[in-house]
Amino acid sequence: MSIAEFEAIPRQLGWDYTYEDGMAHITPREDTVVEAVLTFTEPIPANGPSLTLRPPDPSRDEQALLDLYFIAFHNVFEFCDWPLEEILQQAADDIAKVLKNFHPLATSILEDTESGAMIGAMLIDEDGSALRHLMIDPEWQRQGVATAMLHHVTSTLLEKKTSLRSRYAIGNEPSREWHKRMGFAPIKD
């Protein structure tokens, strides 16, 4: 590859581009996490499918949450080039941490009522101030499921909270765009 070809490569947010020995090296940047806040005075409108929302049951949901975490996240920007074992360990660590301390009313699991399969999960920390994980089965993405879950969360929290923090990698375009569409605003340092 020539330097001219390298310089012509379109650049995307969140990626480092280096040229060495005639080769382009494109890797995810680790310092591109954005913390954002959603301020609300009424629930976010829901426009998604009507499915069954329920609170998580740590004794029964752990494996299904691990499976959902993997299918929702294994191909995303944040895990680019991670070995499978490390992704699975990160999933186990994240799910165990959240299941120990989650908001009992706002945290929700979305199930297919016919099959009982977990379609999505929105995990909120125990004081209701932060969205820790939003996981949607790829077959159900872009159908209003995450919006419906956010509606549930904001409806539940509205009596005591008027904002919800979240974090996303700037290079994860679907996550970045969803946060923007839902009204999350980046927090300036």
Domain with residue 102: its CATH number is 3.40.630.30
Domain match, 24 and 43 both: no
pLDDT band at 29 (very low <50, low <70, confident <90, very high): low
| Residue-wise pLDDT tens digits, 46-89 | 554 557 778 888 888 889 999 998 988 887 777 777 888 998 99
Angle between helices 173-182 and 145-157 (to 10 degrees): 50
Domain match, 43 and 107 both: yes
pLDDT of 120 higher than 80: yes
Mean pLDDT, rounded, for 158-180: 83
Helix/strand/coil for 37: strand
Beta bridge partners of 86: none
Token pair of 66 as six digits: 């691990």
Domain match, 16 and 36 both: no
- Average pLDDT, whole number, for the chain? 81
**Order of strands across the sheet with 108-111?**
52-54, 108-111, 118-124, 131-136
| Residue-wise pLDDT tens digits, 10-27 | 877 667 778 888 888 877
Question: How far apart (Å, rounded) are the C-alpha atoms in residues 114 and 111?
Answer: 9
Domain match, 1 and 59 both: no
pLDDT of 117 higher than 60: yes
Task: Identify the domain containing residue 3 by its residue range.
Answer: 1-30
Helix count and strand count (H, E) for the chain: 5, 9
Total number of domains in the chain: 2
Domain match, 72 and 4 both: no
Mean pLDDT, rounded, for 100-127: 82
Element at 27 (helix H, strand E): strand 23-28
Domain match, 90 and 70 both: yes
Domain match, 60 and 25 both: no
Domain match, 76 and 13 both: no
Q: Tell me what pLDDT residue 161 has.
A: 80
Domain match, 126 and 36 both: yes
Domain match, 26 and 38 both: no
Q: Tell me what pLDDT residue 126 has.
A: 83
Domain match, 41 and 3 both: no
pLDDT band at 102 (very low <50, low <70, confident <90, very high): confident
Domain match, 146 and 124 both: yes
Half-sphere exposure (Cβ direction) of 178: Cα atoms closer than 13 Å: 22
